[in-house]
Amino acid sequence: MKVRAVVLAMVLALSLAVLPEVHADPTVEIIMEKTTYSYCEKLFYTIKVSEVTGNPAIIHIRDEAGKGSSAIPIPITELENPVPSRVAFEKEIFPLGKYFVDVEYSGVETTAEFTLIDSDKVCIPETVKPIMANWLSGNISDGFLIDAFQKFTEDLDLFKIPFDINETTVYDVRIPQWVKNVGYWWLEGLISDDDLVNAVNNLIERNIISLEQAGNEI
């Protein structure tokens, strides 16, 4: 009986040794932070994979009409890879409706969807942030900052600026030094776009931010 058991064990071991190895295809999943977004919010999702193959994930984001982004390569270094958007949804760029996130990874494709809805949130375009950073660093004058507020949000009617800014008056706008704290808070995400708009409009209304003759300091 012992000899027979040993023979059976050897036969089983040999049969297993010659069986071809089976490799499962890698899997990919999109985990959405949420499925409904509104203007001023930023898209956030996580790409979850079963194995790290060394290949990047290729992302496309498209709307219901089929209009979409160009291919976006995302490095996959972990089994779960967060993908935060750097740009918030803006009315001038993103129409309302349903959107799709298409992901292709190592030959496997998957899709998730979300819906963009309207909201009353104040949303300052991302293009204003580097201008604010330059103002905080002293690279541009007070007038150039206010001019940027006016130009980049003109269609949104956010800032209530009662004076015209041109090539001459752009150097006559005065903003107190302490107001830069508000700019820092906004860039660091400590206050919202709505907070910044309210603060600037309040300072203009109180004539703290004003158009003055060159040489007059506040």
Residue 157 has pLDDT above 90, yes or no: no
Number of H helices, E strands in the chain: 5, 10
Residues 19-69: tens digit of each pLDDT? 455 557 789 999 999 999 998 889 999 999 999 999 999 999 999 998 888
Structure tokens of 62? 């498209």
Residue 79 has pLDDT above 80, yes or no: yes
Domain 28-117: give its CATH code: 2.60.40.1930
Residue 16 has pLDDT above 80, yes or no: no
CA angle 32–35–37, rounded 5-degree value: 110
Cα gap 112→100, rounded to integer Å = 6
Residue 145 has pLDDT above 70, yes or no: yes
Q: How confident is the model at residue 6 (pLDDT cuts 50, 70, 90)?
A: very low
Q: How confident is the model at residue 1 (pLDDT cuts 50, 70, 90)?
A: low
Strands 173-174 and 210-211: antiparallel
Percent of the chain with pLDDT over 70: 86
Structure tokens of 114? 């979300």
Contact 88, 42 (CB under 8 A): yes
What pLDDT score was predicted for residue 148? Answer: 93
Mean local confidence (pLDDT), 128-135: 95
Q: Domain-by-domain residue ranges, the chain?
A: 28-117, 128-211
What pLDDT score was predicted for residue 213? Answer: 55
Q: How confident is the model at residue 84 (pLDDT cuts 50, 70, 90)?
A: very high
Mean local confidence (pLDDT), 77-83: 96
Mean local confidence (pLDDT), 75-99: 91
Rounded to 5 degrees, what are φ and ψ at 67?
-75, 130
Contact 137, 56 (CB under 8 A): no
Q: Which residues contact 132 (CB under 8 A, 6 or more apart)?
A: 145, 183, 186, 187
Q: Report which listed range, 7-16, 18-27, 47-56, 164-173, is most confident.
A: 47-56
pTM tops 0.85, yes or no: no
Residues facing residue 31 across a β-bridge:
46
